[in-house]
Structure 1
Amino acid sequence: MLESEVEHSRRRRSANYPLEFKRQLAQQACDSTVSVSQLALQHGLNTNMLFRWRRQLKAGLLDQAKLVPVTLAQTSPISKCPTGSGLIEIRIGEAAVRIEGSPDPATLTLVLKGLRA
């Protein structure tokens, strides 16, 4: 491989497509009368990318962010809680996630991402 090719491959980045664009193409790819490979070709995309977007659409990952109602429950004053302790409880329908203590940010991020799926 030539040095210029190595430099080019290092600079090459995947494009960030707008969420609405991904959603529209994924919806078209779900149509049984549409050829996914032809659709990809028309938009200059890799066919595998459209299949990935279609899976994401079906999993709800391409949905617009939705606001959910939040209610605050009466709790004991914060001053009575020992340092480093806390409670986060998230209820969605019949499901509830309860996190006690002081979770590290990475763990909390994983839990919240899991709720989106």
Structure 2
Amino acid sequence: MEARGRGRLPGSKNYSREFREMVASEANHPERSISEVAKEHGLNANMVSKWRRDQASRAQPGPLAPLPEQSFLPVQIAPLSTQRSAVIVERGALRVRFEGPTDLDALRVVLASLRDMP
């Protein structure tokens, strides 16, 4: 009985890491499709796609990768606007003016009162 690698089918090929990296890099080129690269090398497109994912996962630090030393960056907060705002509501001869920061609850009460006026 012939010994074979775990999970490998008889006759399956073992590709070197360098070859897989080269093919994955070719498939990452924006002007080439995965199926085109796979066909060029006589491979299955699903395999090339997996090699691309493997390459991308190796390029990103994993969850156990050491975190960079934390540092603080200076932050500047813009000063509050000194520009004043005004809301003027008129109904007939009645005029209500709100200046500065508007209290929305008070504005709702005033508008409801004006709406209910005869």
- Which TM bucket (shorter chain)? 0.3 to 0.5
Larger RCO, structures 1/2 (Cα 8 Å, 6+ apart)? 1
TM-score where L is the length of structure 2: 0.42
TM-score where L is the length of structure 1: 0.42
